[in-house]
A and B are shown apart, each in its own frame.
Chain A
């Protein structure tokens, strides 16, 4: 976007356009080159540095077509169609912003590079928010392109509906990104930058899942209730207001007032927030220097890891993993909270599952999907860690690629499926949801799903050093795997509903399919390692 368009926005938020846009250009260039450098270093696997981003946009584009079909079918019920579009676009924007906000807003790199230059917090925040906005607008465009075409052609009135929605969605994306940036920065001001980053890293995954679940469950109901109440509340949401083409052809004064207030708030809140938060706070000037006496809370983990990581290299890897867990709170959060999430899911859905005719099968199928996602996200967590300086490959002294990948899988098993499935198994047994005889099947299927996605992650991005910086997020092949898996998640749900939960042979068939796929992926991985070695470990071939 040109300075002519962004300049007034920057000025409105209290920044000098020349300085802020110049800084934003430099930061963007830095991020791009860092991705490229990581790829050139050979640690990014087979896919290109932008693979994760393109796969994400592809997945959103595919979802966009499905939403477009729904919007077309619902065009007579404008509010419902608009709400659906708002929900989907909001989800895409929120996921993107949540992923990028922490590294962009709370990254320490800027302080080390230009912390003593005359750059105000506000200017830095605005420049970083500009990068966030770019990512968010990309996701928003991919998610809404197809529905907008439908509205331009079939809306009522056609062009006005499409253009109105376009404006509303753009505004929606800007507001969401700005609000998230403000929240993250506000948190940093309250409790300090380092603590804020750790808190968000630990709780971020859980919060995202909770928010999306809540949004999916409640927003549809709220939209319906609001419409019944007169529509004024929904009209206050600018996107819905713009999106509900034709529905406000003859609006009453409450709708007009609500829409006006919503629009004013959408402009005023981000501008005010960025202005207010640009001033100095407690977290603005911090050093990484901490207390010299640190409590090693990972010591008990050493005992748990020992049987999984045998041998000299295994012990070295265990030590590095513990050091890494102390540093990278996102990985710690992933390890701690996803099992908790699974248990929470069982707590919420337990009664329903117990009442089902095929409770065992339903639990196994759903757990399998969760564990598959867990396996894929683990790779991302390993390779996108934040602070640890040591690369585990050379530090572990492991020379054999197969041994290395085997150790990596063992570590992953020890950290995630083993404790998670152990806890879930005990919970299922204690709640009498599953007969003890069925437990191996209920837990075995998820385990196989985890192994499959973990091996798939190794196949596309085999080297997993513990030494990536936040700023390199999004470039890894692991992110591509994660998004691809999100794409097949609905298919998994359908398979679960139609095959696993309804047939006697569903579980056996699923187990056979997973085992067969796992063997195939393992064979492919071994073949690839035999032919090309392991990036980051084996010598590179020209």
Chain B
């Protein structure tokens, strides 16, 4: 069974087409890297799958549920770590995670037990009763990842999940994602850091200006491009020049 199926998915913001007729199918048990330049439509795609946005046209199914018509069922089946990382800052980590457990219909005690173990995995202990307002960016990110995993969802969407994490936590999260995929979950990992994506993902989805450019195994992509580094392949496929060397004085206008 395909856990994520996108069929002609399209989203426009007024006169801007952010996602343009995306077709894609991802099975259970895969860890997919979602790549694209700034403004390519990665976050919009994830927001559509997470039911934060309604599609302008087309649709998608998450774990068999339509994002247009079965919103609550979709939300029960997925965990999402958004890029912006917004939380209720006035709540403590315990209150926030209790709320997450309650709204995912988990027993609060069971949920808190899980949360403590997941946070401990990320070396975040003894702060459950601190306000989230006092947390650093990385600490918040760990709490968001914990909230996304709390209900053991079959589909996991992560938008720049490593942002703000220290090296050890990045390693722990990467290992955990590989383990989750091996256990049958579908994990979509969006990032700008190509090395990280290449390191942990077996498959890649490359989008450019809202359209699907390429989808398949990382090894196949590199083989097609003669074993070139992923960065070079990405720049070539998205028609971006890595940029010739420019003198700073020229950028300042020649007066410096």
Contacts and interface: CB of A to CB of B under 8 A. Distances in A.
A117 B103 contact: yes
* Listed residue (A27, A30, A116) with the most chain B CB atoms within 10 angstroms of its CB: A116
Contacts of A116: 50-52, 75, 78, 80, 82
A115 to B, nearest CB: 5
Contact of B90 (A33, A117, A292): A33
B95 A29 contact: yes
Contacts of B250: none
B48 to A, nearest CB: 9
Contact of A285 (B53, B80, B90, B104): B53
Interface residues of A, number: 35
A118 interface: yes
B248 interface: no
Interface string A268-305: 00000000000010001111011111000000000000
A114 interface: yes
A109 B53 CA distance: 15
A1 interface: no
Given A23-B103, A26-B91, A113-B88, A287 B133 contact: no
Contact of A29 (B50, B71, B90): B90
Contacts of B15: 291-293
Nearest to A108: B86
A118 B104 contact: yes
A112 B53 CA distance: 11
Nearest to B157: A116
Interface of A is mostly: helix
A27 B50 CA distance: 22
B99 A22 contact: yes
B14 A291 contact: yes
Contacts of B82: 112, 116
B105 interface: yes
B47 interface: yes
Contacts of A284: 54
Contacts of B86: 109, 112-113
Nearest to B67: A285
Contacts of B78: 116
Interface string A11-35: 0000000110011001101111110
Contacts of B90: 29-34, 36-37
Given A33-B89, A113-B88, A115-B50, A26 B16 contact: no
A155 to B, nearest CB: 44
A111 B52 contact: yes
Q: Find the residue from B47, B54, B88 having the highest chain A CB count within 10 A.
A: B88
A512 interface: no
A284 B53 CA distance: 9
Contact of B52 (A27, A119, A287, A290): A287
Contacts of A112: 82, 84, 86
Given A26-B91, A286-B53, A291-B13, A114 B103 contact: yes
A30 B91 contact: yes
A468 B89 CA distance: 15
Nearest to B13: A289
B75 A117 contact: yes
A114 B86 CA distance: 9
A276 B240 CA distance: 50
B43 to A, nearest CB: 9
Interface string B126-149: 000001010000000000000000
B54 A285 contact: yes
Contacts of A120: 72
B4 interface: no
Contacts of A31: 90
Contacts of B103: 19, 22-23, 114, 117-119
Nearest to B77: A118
Contacts of A32: 90
B121 interface: no
Given A116-B50, A285-B52, A287-B52, A30 B16 contact: no
Contacts of A289: 13, 16, 18, 44
A106 B80 CA distance: 23
B215 interface: no
Nearest to B86: A112
A252 to B, nearest CB: 50
Contacts of B112: none
A24 to B, nearest CB: 11
B87 interface: yes
B13 A285 contact: no
A99 B91 CA distance: 24
Interface in A15-70: 18-19, 22-23, 26-27, 29-34, 36-37
Given A19-B102, A280-B71, A33 B52 contact: no
B244 to A, nearest CB: 28
A276 B174 CA distance: 44
Nearest to B100: A117
Interface in B45-81: 47, 50-54, 71-72, 75-76, 78, 80
Contacts of A30: 88-91
A22 to B, nearest CB: 5
A288 to B, nearest CB: 9
Given A109-B86, A285-B52, A291-B14, A118 B91 contact: no
26 contacts: A19-B102, A22-B99, A23-B102, A27-B88, A29-B91, A33-B89, A33-B90, A33-B131, A33-B133, A112-B82, A112-B84, A113-B88, A114-B103, A117-B75, A117-B103, A118-B72, A118-B104, A120-B72, A285-B53, A285-B54, A287-B13, A287-B44, A287-B52, A289-B13, A291-B15, A292-B16
Given A118-B76, A287-B47, A289-B13, 20 more contacts: A19-B103, A22-B102, A26-B91, A29-B95, A32-B90, A112-B84, A113-B86, A114-B100, A114-B103, A115-B51, A116-B51, A116-B75, A116-B80, A116-B82, A117-B100, A117-B104, A119-B103, A285-B54, A287-B52, A292-B16
Interface of B: 13-16, 18, 44, 47, 50-54, 71-72, 75-76, 78, 80, 82, 84, 86-91, 95-96, 99-100, 102-105, 131, 133
Interface of A: 18-19, 22-23, 26-27, 29-34, 36-37, 109, 111-120, 280, 284-287, 289-293
- Closest 3 pairs (CB-CB, A-B): A33-B90, A291-B14, A112-B86
